[in-house]
Amino acid sequence: MFDTENFQQQVISWQQSHGRNQLPWQQSAGELADAAYRVLVSELMLQQTQVATVIPYFQRWLEAFPDINTLARADEDEVMRLWQGLGYYARARNLHKAAKYLAELPEFPASLAELLQVPGVGRYTAGAIMSFAFDQYGPIVDGNVRRLYCRYFAISGVPHSTTLEKQLWQKAHQLTPTSQSRRFSQGLLDLGATVCKARQPLCEQCPLAADCQALLQNRVSDFPNAKAKKAVPSKAGSFLWISQGDAILLQKRPSPGIWGALWCLPQVADDSPLLAGAKLHGEFSHQFTHYKLNAQIWQISAEQYDVNLRQAAPEIWAKPTELAMLGLPAPLKIYLAAKLQP
């Protein structure tokens, strides 16, 4: 019979001795709502992004938006500017929506059910807030936990399939303790990130090695099952370079969507009449999760920018000195810096 309490204690003891306990979002001497806000920000930033990358962004974010109310009142452009470079910009928009929702409540939600009502908060983030902010029962499953559970229990399945996710969440609900949940959950994340790594796992250092089914079967590299590899498609993108004096025309991207709510060169269809007679200004490529963008920037005059062919989107003329104050897609920021340097 599986000893749940022993598993919990092994994770908790290891985390206390070897885990990460000095991350900036773990340091909160204020009220529970302040701790919950820090966890909410950090968890959305950490989705698809490594801890080392997130730390400076988190610190800058807290300087600009130290609490829920400050973020709720913030201008969208300022929010997107501070997120610039982290990618997956829907996270920033969701965080802003969450702050506006939370600012209207009398107190920060303190149950899984209430947290799941917050815009942009799924069951992982809800569990993380319960565990890390309130030290209450809060099951979590992310990439690190998924890998650890798949190996420890030798769970096979198509990655991210409904069947596999259901099994993993069942494990999470069964194994998460009702006390010391903060240290247990942090222990799972730390083990997955530093010991039970995707490549070259350090099984000899793992406190769970004695009962790890993948290790006992000499099949650690088999779990989690590998995703079927798909060819990454390429897509062309045509953008306009329109200048007026030393200012460049920028257009706000629609939200939701790729680079939503960020300022960008106007994008047009590849067969747009605006490209007739346009001069190629430059090119850049950018790798998204599901495709590669091959962008071409076409230069036309302000007079050629036919008002009847414009998209119904906010536009501004931005000087080079003003670009640092705008939220720009990372590859465009690099392109502009290269083209506008003195």
Residue range 157-179, pLDDT digits in tens: 988 899 999 999 999 999 999 99
Across the chain, mean pLDDT equals 94
Q: What is the pLDDT of residue 255?
A: 87
pLDDT in tens, 109-144: 999 999 999 999 999 999 999 999 999 999 999 999
Q: Determine the Cα–Cα distance for residues 144 and 99; give it in Å rounded to an integer.
A: 27
Q: Taking residues 295-304, report their average pLDDT.
A: 94
User: Residue 308 has what pLDDT?
Assistant: 64
On the question of pLDDT at 311 being above 80, the answer is no
pLDDT at 342: 62
DSSP three-state, residue 235? strand
Active site residues: 43
Please name the residue that has the structure tokens 């942090």. 186
d(CA 60, CA 64): 6
Q: What is the pLDDT of residue 202?
A: 98
Query: Each residue of 175-194: b (16+ CB within 10 Å) or e?
Result: bbbeebbbbbbbbbbbbbbe
Q: How many helices (H) and strands (E) does the chain have?
A: 13, 8
For residue 327, is pLDDT > 90?
yes
Read off the amino acid at residue 175: L
Whole-Å CA distances, 61 to 74, 83, 96, 326: 12, 8, 12, 15
The pLDDT tens digits for 39-78 are 999 999 999 899 999 999 999 999 999 999 999 999 999 9
More confident residue, 305 or 14: 14
Residue with tokens 């908790």: 12
- What confidence tier does 93 reach under pLDDT thresholds 50, 70, 90? very high
Q: Average pLDDT of 171-193?
A: 97
Tell me phi and psi for residue 48, to 5 degrees: 70, 15
Residue 151 to residues 148, 154, 205, Cα–Cα distance (Å): 5, 5, 15
Instruction: Please state the rounded mean pLDDT for residues 4-31.
Output: 91
Q: Tokens for 8?
A: 């919990």
Rounded to 10 degrees, the C-alpha dihedral 114/146/203/9 comes to 30
Q: Is the pLDDT of residue 30 over 70?
A: no
pLDDT surpassing 80 at residue 33: yes
pLDDT range class, residue 35, cuts 50, 70, 90: very high
Split at pLDDT 50, 70, 90, the class of 229 is confident
pLDDT tens-place string over residues 242-289: 999 999 999 999 988 899 999 999 999 999 999 998 999 999 999 998
